A = this chain, B = another copy of it.
Amino acid sequence: MKKPVTIHDIAKLANASSATVSRVLSNSNYPVSAAMREKITRIAKEANYIPNMLGKQLKTNTSMTIGVIIPSISNPFYSSVILGVEEIAREHNYHVIVCNSLQNPDFELGYLQTMAEKQVKGIILSSIAQNTSLLKGLLQNGMHAIAIDQRIDEEEISQIEFNYAKGGYMATKHLIEHGHTRIGYATSELDRHSRTEIHQGYLKAMSEAGLKPVVEISGAGKVFSSSNEFDSGKQLADKMLERHKDLTAIFACNDVMAFGVIHTLTSRGLRVPDDLSVIGFDGIEYGQMIHPPLTTIKQPDYEMGILACKLLLDKLQDKDSSHLSVMLQPRLVERASVTTRQAGD
């Protein structure tokens, strides 16, 4: 492990000053003679020169890095978001630091702190709960933030929202339009903005149609894991079936939970959608792989990541500090888990 070669080493080899070398190697538009430029470029290549970004970043006060804080990468919704973020980041030579908060406020704070220490100037948040004080301080010190999938009451943060309420409304409406009147809603704890909104959408659609809502809420949501959500779905379906034997459709607050619901129904010998229709929410890829393929509401996850990263980089590069707020719209994905209610029901 030899000592890394610096611009000074190159300068010596090229009989030039480190200033000139810097100008050439950093693609500055500062005038340098063609001959000198060629010479330095050649020598740098021969010497296998690797620029030390720490020096550059310290000087220019810009780390080419953005951070993303999400609940968990194991949630396919978020992994799609990340994929979108990274695509845009890569195009601009930025790197992405992924932080899984696992819904733990301490982890969130820790990540936020060390991110600031590493001079990360832009972050995309989808997990901050109530720790606004630290975040507020960072914003004043030049940090930029975009919030996705979550409402943060902070003037300086651009928001990429998703119309959860409308999504919830659309899903419920879809069932109603297929003749269903006894529709249950299975949801995890209503502790996040998104959850309450979907719930509201459901209630609104039911109310408009003059139908009586049937809501079943799962116990304290621990750390997100697909298995947990799946199990919740199974349990909620069990409860619903026992307490409301006349249901003809169930709306689950996310796709994995819908998988659980379908699992329970199938296990009990009920056919989906012939005996009961099921609709999910999220639009993850696995929805098409189960039986029957899941009808659901699609959240534009990948596009969300793309948009969030674009907005963030705009903020970082321009001095444009307009803090806009975008609202993405839900889309119904019709597959095969919903059918028109049978006359005999």
Q: Is A180 an interface residue (CB 8 A)?
A: no
Question: Are A96 and B98 interface neighbours, CB within 8 A?
Answer: yes
Taking CB as reference atom, which chain B residue is nearest A262? B291
Interface size class of A (residues with CB under 8 A): 35 or more
Taking CB as reference atom, which chain B residue is nearest A230? B289
Taking CB as reference atom, which chain B residue is nearest A267? B291
Taking CB as reference atom, which chain B residue is nearest A63? B54
Contacts A73-B79, A74-B76, A86-B100; is A51 near B117 (CB within 8 Å)? yes
Question: Are A73 and B63 interface neighbours, CB within 8 A?
Answer: no
Q: Is A42 an interface residue (CB 8 A)?
A: no
How many copies of this chain does the complex contain? 2
Select A285's contact among B53, B57, B97, B226, beta carbons within 8 Å.
B226
Within 8 A of B (CB), among A45-104: 48, 50-55, 57-58, 63-65, 72-74, 76, 79-80, 82-83, 86, 90, 93, 95-100
CB contacts (< 8 Å) of A52 on chain B: these are 58, 117, 119
Extra A-B contacts (5), CB below 8 Å, given A53-B117, A225-B285: A1-B141, A74-B80, A74-B285, A98-B98, A286-B289
Could you list 20 A-B pairs, sorted by A, with CB under 8 Å? A1-B140, A2-B141, A51-B117, A54-B54, A54-B63, A54-B119, A58-B58, A65-B118, A73-B82, A73-B83, A74-B76, A74-B80, A86-B98, A97-B97, A97-B98, A259-B286, A263-B289, A289-B290, A290-B290, A290-B291
